[in-house]
């Protein structure tokens, strides 16, 4: 974990966000989550912000985790509401506001309707955005129009972030401020370049690069996310181990497919970046 | 908790099964779950079997919990697979079989498609039923035909149990062997009589009683389950506290409604039992 | 079609109900639907009531069809609301009440959440049951508890009918008055006996017979309904043709499976009926 | 209808596409659909292509409709598969290919998972795109990443079109070729300008205009689509009548809201277009 963080910072990422969906937060004990945060904070050592996931079914559990990540030195948190029973929007609001009141860190709200049972409606997110500790939203719905509505209605300064189900360039074009993306763990400089092209408003070139990178996003979405990123990290010399059972590990054939895509995407991206936009690198 | 268990045993229940959906297992820390099991085992003191829920997203978490409840003196467990990512039936099978191999207690499989993301198909349950530690299934789908298929295909001796979404009498008629039901925490002697009428194959009388009790099941299903049972226990002089936030507690008006239904159902059930089937009580 | 109706009446059915889900009503033009009703009315010739499906997305379309089946001599209709856009319960109520006001025939409401986009809640069905032309409900939800609630809350005399997703015996036990079931097209005398056992309140024997017949219901549910019944009718010497494309016809292997189940179920049912309850036949 | 078509052509639209979701195709009889196509073809009189919806549950029904619209002078069709029973991807493929083989017109495939029961997977659309009569896809999933995958995998020349659930500018940026959008019936010149800004690759200005127009898209999505467009057309002096019952007509308050949004959006768009990009108009 430390070696990976060192590597990612060396490649130019602007932040580290452990304990998301891909990071198997939902499968880790509270103790293991704390170890992950500790390792990432130590590795970053203040160079980039560390914004781990806080993920709970109960207000109390979330506040406990939020305080723990703060004690461990995190710079913010990505807050998720897990649930078992259905909840009204009133109860969902209650969860986010009570954690925001209790924790002394900036909060990114995380919504992922593919995996989470409770979704947050646009009206509720707009309301939550007015709380001074609510810093932004990481949305994995894949419905880009939803982000346009949020960017227009949420309070000034509330950041819209794309998760990997979205086309990063499209989210940046509509006013997004960044990308939270599992694939960026392995296509790191490529995603940093993508972000820089967007910041420079070079949309056609950004989209050309996005298309090259999208092949990996498609593979990522078609396998178990954790298994896919672990396989890709293995290709790069890391030892991430297997997904937590009963999540299956990737079959060898699938691994080979991912490694091949990874190699091809990297080569294609390098060629594109070298020849067309040599001057982009920061 | 101890007082409640003592009360339930005094009313004639044939077993105690803490840490189900209604028991908010999904919201409790591992430590709190252990405290619950300890309290129930102590209270029962061997008089009736104690069969707590084991509920986890990971094989390791489930095995740890299974061993803990065994150490604490449980007589079996109700095993549930929680999930965040979607899982194939192969991965689901893997979870149940690995826990069954590792734990030295009888297992009741629990499926509740209303709240759980992963459902078990009939073919998989039939296959799992062949494992010697698999003792039965508690199904909360409400689809009674599914239970008829299971009763015909699962191995001899594998028990079919109704959760509260089913009509208990109907499940008993098709070959079921018992009821796991949140409402039985408060309509205890009434549900014991229902069970006895079914065992005596007095189906018309059982259904007449079932209809009287069903009004409470309807209320139970229309509110948050935990909130509803807690409100009903409060009516009976227990102090169960509020549901775990952000689950809302019941509004006072809803509490009054539940209490009224509870009183009326008890009176109607007593009248029916007294006049028509005086001779049933065990 | 005429030959099949003659056959079914000869086997003792108490009514004919063409143009349900299995009858592919949703795939037939209005003209074809009228031809079906005409053929069934002619074949019955007043011997048993004919209650065809009326199935539309619009109030006007439903009223037109309702008047057409009345002109053709139907004795009632099974009314379904098809939809494309989502509808509020208010709009759903509007559909059923306007058709009931305009048509001069008894109406059976049909709900099938497996195939229909719009479901009717219990409260709405209870309200609709008070309209004098509403004669009952055919429910295919498979959730038997829903039928118990309806049987307790709908107006006196409003009939609860089981579709094939339900266990007929269980629905009869809770107060149901009949079975609407695709499988009864081919297991006709067996289903008539089942109905008679229920009417005689011989519940254990009815359930024993139900279990024998259930194997066919399972096959029926695992294939395309229309394809399955057509294959079974072919086995009995009828020429029902293929399902309407793009619904696939059954592969030969699946046909063989269905025919084998049909033969075995018939033999087993006959043995059971002969030896155990010889005296049931009407 | 004729007056509306004349108006739209005068405002610069590049084509007319009656009988989509908003056009209530699903609610119209075959006769009424033909009248709509006739009216639009007559009104266009060859000035812009007319591409009506063909919408059926059966292969035969779709082929009949396809031939009818061809006879009536349509230039292509938007082909939809309606369904009642679930269908395998093989059966879905069968529908589209058999209609494509039988009809002598270009086909736009239409997928709208919000309202249609059957969805087409990316692999199937890619396969269908190889048929020479398949000209493109109108997608209303709102999941923009899906369109990026299609634009990369479908055959060269197969057009990707945004329906109104998508942000038009984002779809154009990723390689889309046009917009099929109910709101363009009333924000016509504004949407034509949007399209031209995209064609000129002036993405930041296109997005600025898109944000202004999005407020109407939000209103459009929050009401019944047909009711909303009809209310807006009424504001502009047309007499579109009410949605087909049981779809409710808009309450007066909702109408006022829509009219207000429409006025404000038009004024804001004019101001933006006048001051910033005066030179865009074709």
Put simply, whether D28 touches A (Cβ < 8 Å) is no
Are the beta carbons of A170 and D165 separated by less than 8 Å?
A: no
Across the interface, which of A84, A98, A115 has its CB nearest the CB of B27?
Answer: A84
Q: Which residues of chain B have a CB within 8 Å of the CB of A224?
A: 85
> At residue D281, does pLDDT exceed 70?
no
| B150, two tokens | 């299971």
Q: Which residues of chain D have a CB within 8 Å of the CB of A181?
A: none
Q: If you average pLDDT over residues C149-177, what whole number do you get?
A: 97
Predicted pLDDT of residue C282: 44
- Angstroms from C122 CA to nearest CA on chain B: 11
Which of A145, A182, A210 would you mutate first to test chain D, the one with the most D CBs within 10 A?
Answer: A145
Instruction: Identify which of D180, D199, D177 has the alpha carbon closest to the alpha carbon of residue D138.
Output: D180
Q: Do chains C and A touch (3 or more CB pairs under 8 A)?
A: no
Q: What is the DSSP letter of D139?
A: E
**CA-to-CA distance for A177 and A159, rounded, in angstroms?**
6
Report the mean per-residue pLDDT for chain D. Answer: 95
Contact (Cβ atoms closer than 8 angstroms) between residue C16 and residue C51: yes
Instruction: Identify which of B137, B133, B108, B134 has the alpha carbon closest to the alpha carbon of residue B121.
Output: B137
Q: Is D161 helix (H, G, I), strand (E, B) or coil?
A: strand
**CA-to-CA distance for B31 and B9, rounded, in angstroms?**
25
Q: Who contacts C213 (Cβ-Cβ below 8 Å, separation ≥6)?
A: C183, C187, C190, C191, C194, C265, C269
Cβ burial, residue B196 (10 Å; 0-12/13-18/19+)? middle
Q: Do chains B and A touch (3 or more CB pairs under 8 A)?
A: yes
Across the interface, which of C90, C98, C246 has its CB nearest the CB of D92?
Answer: C246
Residues D122, D124, D128, D129, Cα dihedral to 10°: 20
**How many pairs of residues across A and B have Cβ atoms under 8 Å apart?**
86
Residues B121, B125, B126, B128, Cα dihedral to 10°: 140
**CA-to-CA distance for B170 and B167, rounded, in angstroms?**
5
**CA-to-CA distance for C28 and D8, rounded, in angstroms?**
36
Put simply, whether B63 touches A (Cβ < 8 Å) is no
Q: How many Cα atoms sit within 13 Å of C36 on the Cβ side?
A: 22
Q: Is D188 helix (H, G, I), strand (E, B) or coil?
A: helix
Q: Is C92 helix (H, G, I), strand (E, B) or coil?
A: helix
Are the beta carbons of A247 and B87 separated by less than 8 Å?
A: yes
Predicted pLDDT of residue C277: 63
Q: Which residues of chain A have a CB within 8 Å of the CB of D167?
A: 144-145, 148, 170, 174
Per-residue pLDDT in tens (0 to 9) along chain A, 282 residues: 999 999 999 999 999 999 999 999 999 999 999 999 999 999 999 999 999 999 999 999 999 999 999 999 999 999 999 999 999 999 999 999 999 999 899 999 999 988 888 889 999 999 999 999 999 999 999 999 999 999 999 999 999 999 999 999 999 999 999 999 889 999 999 999 999 999 999 999 999 999 999 999 999 888 889 999 999 999 999 999 999 999 999 999 999 999 999 999 999 999 999 987 655 544
Contact (Cβ atoms closer than 8 angstroms) between residue B97 and residue B128: yes
Q: Who contacts A25 (Cβ-Cβ below 8 Å, separation ≥6)?
A: A19, A33, A53, A55, A80
Contact (Cβ atoms closer than 8 angstroms) between residue A8 and residue A47: no
Contact (Cβ atoms closer than 8 angstroms) between residue B175 and residue B159: no
Put simply, whether A248 touches B (Cβ < 8 Å) is yes
Contact (Cβ atoms closer than 8 angstroms) between residue C91 and residue C58: no
Q: Is C187 helix (H, G, I), strand (E, B) or coil?
A: coil
**CA-to-CA distance for B95 and B56, rounded, in angstroms?**
10
Q: If you average pLDDT over residues D202-220, what whole number do you get?
A: 96
Q: Who contacts A167 (Cβ-Cβ below 8 Å, separation ≥6)?
A: A144, A210, A214, D144, D145, D148, D170, D174
Across the interface, which of D27, D82, D92 has its CB nearest the CB of C58?
Answer: D27
Long-range CB pairs of A119-124, under 8 A, 24+ apart, other chains included: A120/A81, A120/A89, A120/A92, A121/A89, A122/A146, A122/A149, A122/A150, A122/A153, A123/A89, A124/A89, A124/A92, A124/A93
Reply yes or no on whether B110 is catalytic.
yes
Predicted pLDDT of residue C244: 97
Q: Which residues of chain D have a CB within 8 Å of the CB of C92?
A: 246
Contact (Cβ atoms closer than 8 angstroms) between residue A138 and residue A109: yes
Q: Cα-flanking dihedrals φ and ψ of residue D277, to 5°? A: -130, 50
A169 to chain D: closest CA residue? D170
Q: Determine the distance from the C-alpha atom of residue D208 to the mean position of all C-alpha atoms in its chain, rounded to a whole number.
A: 22
Using left for φ > 0, alpha for ψ between -120 and 50, and beta otherwise, residue D237 falls in: left
Pairing of strands C159-162, C134-139: parallel
**CA-to-CA distance for C167 and B146, rounded, in angstroms?**
10
In which element (H, E) is residue C110 found?
strand C107-111
User: Can you list the positions of beta strands (E) in C133-220?
Assistant: 134-139, 159-162, 178-179
Predicted pLDDT of residue B282: 44
Q: Which residues of chain C have a CB within 8 Å of the CB of B206?
A: none
List all residues of chain D from 133 to 162 with a beta carbon under 8 Å from chain C. none
Q: Which residues pair with A136 in a beta bridge?
A: A108, A159
What's the distance, Cα to Cα, between the start and end of chain B in Å?
Answer: 26
With a pLDDT cut of 70, the percent of chain D lying above it is 98
Are the beta carbons of C85 and D225 separated by less than 8 Å?
A: yes
Instruction: Identify which of C236, C219, C182 has the alpha carbon closest to the alpha carbon of residue C24.
Output: C182
Q: Which residues of chain C have a CB within 8 Å of the CB of B207?
A: 173-175
Contact (Cβ atoms closer than 8 angstroms) between residue A213 and residue A191: yes
pLDDT tens, position by position, D82-122: 999 999 999 999 999 999 999 899 999 999 988 888 889 99
Asked whether the bond before C78 is cis by omega within 30 degrees of 0, the reply is no
Burial D16-38 (b: 16+ CB within 10 A, else e): bbbbbbbbbbbbbeeeebbebbb
Residues of chain B scoring pLDDT < 70? 277-282
Predicted pLDDT of residue D147: 98
Q: How many Cα atoms sit within 13 Å of D181 on the Cβ side?
A: 32
| D81, two tokens | 């598969």
């Amino acid at each position: 974990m430390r070696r990976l963080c060192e590597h990612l910072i060396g490649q130019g990422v602007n932040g580290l966000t452990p304990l998301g969906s891909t990071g198997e937060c939902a499968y880790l004990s509270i103790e293991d989550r704390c170890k992950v945060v500790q390792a990432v904070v130590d590795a970053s050592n203040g160079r980039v912000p560390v914004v781990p996931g806080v993920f709970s079914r109960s207000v109390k559990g979330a506040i406990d985790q939020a305080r723990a990540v703060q004690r461990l030195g995190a710079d913010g948190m990505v807050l998720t509401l897990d649930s078992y029973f259905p909840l009204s929007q009133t109860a969902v609001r209650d969860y986010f506001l009570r954690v925001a009141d209790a924790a002394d860190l900036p909060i990114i709200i995380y919504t992922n309707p593919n995996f989470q049972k409770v979704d947050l409606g646009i009206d509720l997110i707009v309301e939550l955005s007015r709380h001074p500790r609510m810093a932004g939203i990481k949305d994995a719905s894949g419905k880009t129009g939803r982000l346009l509505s949020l960017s227009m209605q949420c309070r000034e300064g509330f950041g819209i972030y794309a998760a990997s189900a979205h086309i990063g360039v499209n989210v940046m074009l509509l006013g997004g401020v960044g990308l939270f993306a599992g694939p960026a763990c392995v296509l790191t400089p490529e995603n940093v370049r993508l972000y820089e092209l967007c910041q420079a408003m070079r949309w056609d070139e950004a989209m050309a690069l996005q298309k090259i990178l999208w092949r990996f996003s498609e593979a990522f979405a078609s396998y178990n996310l954790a298994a896919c990123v672990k396989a890709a990290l293995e290709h790069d010399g890391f030892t991430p181990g297997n997904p937590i059972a009963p999540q299956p590990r990737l079959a060898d054939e699938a691994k080979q497919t991912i490694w091949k895509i990874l190699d091809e995407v990297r080569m294609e991206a390098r060629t594109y970046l070298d020849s067309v936009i040599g001057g982009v690198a920061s």
